[in-house]
Chain A
Amino acid sequence: MTSDCTPHQVSHKIELPLLPAILRAAHAAGRGRFLIYSNIDIALQPSAYLELAAVLRTQPEVPISAVREEFEHASAAFDLAEAARRRGRGLPHPGHDFWAFPRAWVPELALSNVTLGVSLVATALNQALLGHAGCRLTLLSRQLTYHVVEGESVVRHKWLQRARTDPLFFKTYTAWNCAHTKPMLAQLLSRTPAYRECWYAAQVAKSLHAYKCAQHVPSLPSKAAKALWATPSAALARAFPNLAK
């Protein structure tokens, strides 16, 4: 969906929320057995809760990540009926933006202060959930959720994403999330050595490398964040020697 302004006309002050704060608020204020978090631009098909309930009824201790489909070339009149008509015909988006898991887990999750809207935030939450669930996660791609764009999807063309083109995002903000993701990996490895055998541990290590965390974190203007990143961990050093350097 294009903006109603032309490029470079409006400067917007960003106030990105920290994900753990949102989950804690929902844990404190909510009553549900299961907590769902989804990004604000993710809409649901009418049967979404029912289908989630059916899966969770079978495996209540296995968290769910439901991947969305992308409806491109949507007009301003796009509505729920059109979303229902298009279901199953959008672009399948492989990213994570919708999770369901037991609400009681929130205080126990190995999730530090990662921020929304920035690379690695989904990785951090996946890591926390897999770590808590004994390396289990159900990935659903049954078009329970969708995202609407006016033109072509930005996720279709990664090089157009702000997260990859704006240094504020791909350096500073991503470095922040790096600094809050690596210590949680170390914590999981230390607390449960078997987590080393979970495929997602290697995935996180790979992501920390792919996002050039070691290169960008030293530039963070936050001593606390840098200290978090540099916290030594014997468990991490054993599992991923290159990451512990």
Chain B
Amino acid sequence: MMPARRFPNTKPHTHTYTCAGGRWFFISWTCTTTHHPLSKKGTLKAPHRRKMLCSRIGLQLGVVALQVCVIALTISSSSHLLDDRRPSIMVASVASTAAAVPSPPSIVSEPLPVSPPAQSPTARITRLPAAKSMVRNTSLPLIMLVGPPGSGHETLGLALMRLPDVLPMTLVQEQSFVHLWWANGGRATEADTPADPAVLASAAETLRDWARQASASGRRLAFGGRGCLRSTAEEGGDCSWISGMGTQLAPTRGEALLSGRALEWTGEPFAFPLGGDPAAEPGSQRPRYPRLGDLQALCAAAAPPLALRVLALRRTPFSTFAHAAAERPAPFWRPTGRPERLAHLATLVRDGGRRAAAQLQQLPPAMVRIVDVDALLKGISAGAAPGGAVDATVASAASEAINALGAFTGISSRRLLAALREAEAADAKALAHLSELLAAADGHLPSADETQQVLRDALAAAAADAAAAGWSGPAVTVDGQASGDGDDWERLVGPTASTPSGAVLAMARWQATAPTLATTAAVTAAAAAAAASAAAIAAPSANASDGAADVLFTHVLNPFFADSAEHKLAMRLTFASLAAAAATAEAQGVTVELLAAVLPRDKGVVRASLPATEQLLRAHSDGAHSDAAQLASGAALKALQAAVRSARNIREVELSASASLRTALPEVSHKIELPLLPDDR
């Protein structure tokens, strides 16, 4: 059951404060006393007190967030996200930017019905019929979430992982793209710094494998969440990628149970929210950023090309910062150094937002949709609230947004809705956890005033840090007039706090300035950059050999006399498969020599294994080449003979007795009990 994002029996009371000013800055945050992201449910008894606390904290955080969260502002300033038809309280919206390039491949998704609120005031998206989706052409979508920490990676990433339509990244993809987007070769990883062509080519290989697997299983690729499962009995322990992939490929929810241990998704966001690892101690880690241009180039260079689908995540600055803070683990909140850590986090959020906006401007608009994460979640929550009043406008807008998302990504709208419902529940839980973290870190349950003071102090430090870092954004007041340098906390809070909420409600818009997202020049530049990168991927190295015939492999193994059936069969398979592969390669001019480096006690193991190896090769030949034409031509026999010859040519090379750990560590009793695995599975 979905938790309602409201206190029961309490009339929602919403204040929306808006600050606008300067060319780029426009801020809006909504404070609803029935659901304040920083309030611990149940700890605030009186509605009035909730209202006061919400207002005070929200006002203070909102102003600082003004300084630290430029991302959404910049993104929105370059899009046509909101128009006047939308309610001032944000509704779920997925906005397309102006189409300046050819449309993406046609993806058809049967939409969720969107009922006009006037006709169906109690419409719920939970009652909508099942939807189907299909991709009509061969372009495989690759979904990428973009935004600073706290902007929604953790929520949408979790949703993507749960979708059977999607093949999430594994450790292989994560490592390859960390490799690509980490600072490399002494260069800072910036959007305007070109990638190492060799690393880009390696990423292309990884992407090719990933796409092939996704295509074979009819799925879309998605950067977004870590497809890793962790035992519920090992909180904080390592997660299992292979379990995650196994569950994802064969999704029978609830099957992830073994030896009495339940497995659950870790829920960790993908490793590339723009801005690096916010959990890092200040100064201990450089921020890192993905280069969307690389991804664009890689998608274009893939065969067949992949359809890049970028979901630009937008939240209000207040919400972004609150979520980024709520994602931090318990040690982050220990009192010592907490203001500095929060200031560091604020910097990451601020800079990540700027960089996300800058990179998004370089992408063709057809590749980008902007997702108002909180509005989307709010709409889903409204549609799912059991028995309660439904804000039909919000729910209907959410359905519309999900349909748009489904059409853009090729994901079934129905399944997308189900996954987002679960993610919404996790999102609400994470925010509620924030005050618990604070309470635990301070050793007692703080009063509302104490909690407020902690946040106030920490965020004041964040504001000072932002100013010290040279951020030159003008401080603004609700009437849009610049009023300070941005580093005077009290001066900023004063006028904002005194402004009646109603007066600014109508101003709660994301600034829609002249479109800068898709100028012709930007698109041209992006296309040129993509073409150059694609050429770098396709171009052979100057040192490349002239042909496969020049490539010669020495393949070395370390076989041993095995005591277990497990090892015996494994070695038999290894020898036979290497011999068969070597014969296949030889037939096409790639020569392979097979070496067995053995400790003295294992001398002769290759010869001893040969009968079993040959038996396996003959069985394979019988099974694989039963076609009459092949047999008649003698191809099967020749292949078998070549493989047997390769097996017989495996050459033993004896290692010295000192080349083992038993010799190197004579003081240790090197004994284990077989079998290798405990028999408690």
A23: interface (CB < 8 Å): yes
A230: interface (CB < 8 Å): no
User: CB distance A199 to B184 under 8 Å?
Assistant: yes
A93 CB contacts on chain B under 8 angstroms = 242
B120: interface (CB < 8 Å): no
B501: interface (CB < 8 Å): no
Separation in Å of the B247 CB from the closest CB of chain A? 10
Question: With A2-B677, A60-B543 in contact, do A159 and B234 touch (Cβ < 8 Å)?
Answer: yes
Interface residues of B in 86-142 (CB under 8 A from A): none
Q: Which residue of A lies closest to B286 (CB)?
A: A197
B171: interface (CB < 8 Å): yes
Measured in the bound complex, the distance between the Cα atoms of B660 and A8 in whole Å is: 25
B563 CB contacts on chain A under 8 angstroms = 10, 12
Measured in the bound complex, the distance between the Cα atoms of B577 and A91 in whole Å is: 19
Interface residues of B in 255-303 (CB under 8 A from A): 258-259, 261, 285
User: CB distance B554 to A31 under 8 Å?
Assistant: yes
0/1 string, B561-582, CB within 8 A of A gives 1: 0011111011101101110111
B24: interface (CB < 8 Å): no
Measured in the bound complex, the distance between the Cα atoms of B214 and A92 in whole Å is: 13
Question: With A44-B581, A79-B619, A156-B242 in contact, do A141 and B673 touch (Cβ < 8 Å)?
Answer: no
A48 CB contacts on chain B under 8 angstroms = 581
B196 CB contacts on chain A under 8 angstroms = 135-136
Measured in the bound complex, the distance between the Cα atoms of B669 and A11 in whole Å is: 12
Measured in the bound complex, the distance between the Cα atoms of B644 and A135 in whole Å is: 39
Q: Which residue of B lies closest to A136 (CB)?
A: B198
B471: interface (CB < 8 Å): no
0/1 string, B144-174, CB within 8 A of A gives 1: 0000000000000000000000000011100
Separation in Å of the B7 CB from the closest CB of chain A? 41
Our pick among B551, B661, B676 for the contact of A3 (Cβ within 8 Å) is B676
B324: interface (CB < 8 Å): no
User: CB distance A197 to B170 under 8 Å?
Assistant: no
B582 CB contacts on chain A under 8 angstroms = 49
B358: interface (CB < 8 Å): no
B556: interface (CB < 8 Å): yes
Q: Which residue of B lies closest to A10 (CB)?
A: B674
B623 CB contacts on chain A under 8 angstroms = 79, 81
A52: interface (CB < 8 Å): yes
User: CB distance A2 to B172 under 8 Å?
Assistant: no
B564 CB contacts on chain A under 8 angstroms = 3-5
User: CB distance A17 to B659 under 8 Å?
Assistant: yes
User: CB distance A156 to B172 under 8 Å?
Assistant: no
Measured in the bound complex, the distance between the Cα atoms of B593 and A34 in whole Å is: 10
A62 CB contacts on chain B under 8 angstroms = 198, 201-202
Which of B384-392, B516-524, B594-602 forms part of the interface with chain A?
B594-602
Measured in the bound complex, the distance between the Cα atoms of B71 and A200 in whole Å is: 30
A56 CB contacts on chain B under 8 angstroms = 551
User: CB distance A91 to B566 under 8 Å?
Assistant: no
A73: interface (CB < 8 Å): no
Interface residues of A in 1-46 (CB under 8 A from B): 1-18, 21-23, 25-26, 29-46
Q: Which residue of A lies closest to B574 (CB)?
A: A43
Interface residues of A, CB < 8 Å — how many?
Answer: 117
Q: Which residue of B lies closest to A98 (CB)?
A: B555
Separation in Å of the B661 CB from the closest CB of chain A? 4
User: CB distance B678 to A7 under 8 Å?
Assistant: yes
User: CB distance B588 to A32 under 8 Å?
Assistant: no
B14: interface (CB < 8 Å): no
A229: interface (CB < 8 Å): no
A154: interface (CB < 8 Å): yes
0/1 string, B647-675, CB within 8 A of A gives 1: 00001010110011110110110111111
Separation in Å of the B613 CB from the closest CB of chain A? 11
B317: interface (CB < 8 Å): no
Our pick among A2, A41, A46, A61 for the contact of B543 (Cβ within 8 Å) is A61
Our pick among B186, B541, B601, B673 for the contact of A194 (Cβ within 8 Å) is B186
Which of B52-60, B76-84, B203-211, B428-436 forms part of the interface with chain A?
B203-211
Question: With A34-B552, A162-B677 in contact, do A43 and B578 touch (Cβ < 8 Å)?
Answer: yes
Question: With A3-B675, A40-B570, A45-B581 in contact, do A79 and B620 touch (Cβ < 8 Å)?
Answer: yes
A sample of 16 inter-chain contacts (CB < 8 A) reads: A11-B672, A17-B659, A18-B660, A33-B545, A33-B550, A36-B553, A49-B585, A50-B585, A59-B544, A81-B623, A91-B249, A94-B241, A94-B242, A135-B199, A142-B209, A157-B681
A residues near B, CB below 8 A? 1-18, 21-23, 25-26, 29-50, 52-62, 67, 70, 76, 78-81, 83-84, 88, 91-94, 100, 103, 113, 115-116, 134-142, 147-148, 150-162, 165-166, 168, 172-173, 176, 193-194, 197-200, 202, 210, 220-222, 225
B residues near A, CB below 8 A? 170-172, 175-176, 178-179, 182-187, 196, 198-199, 201-202, 205-206, 208-210, 212-213, 216, 231, 234, 238, 240-243, 245-246, 249, 258-259, 261, 285, 540-541, 543-545, 547-548, 550-560, 563-567, 569-571, 573-574, 576-578, 580-582, 584-585, 588, 590-593, 595, 597, 599, 601, 616-617, 619-620, 623-624, 651, 653, 655-656, 659-662, 664-665, 667-668, 670-681
Q: 6 new A-B pairs (CB below 8 Å) besides A57-B548, A148-B570?
A: A26-B597, A29-B653, A32-B593, A39-B557, A88-B213, A160-B681
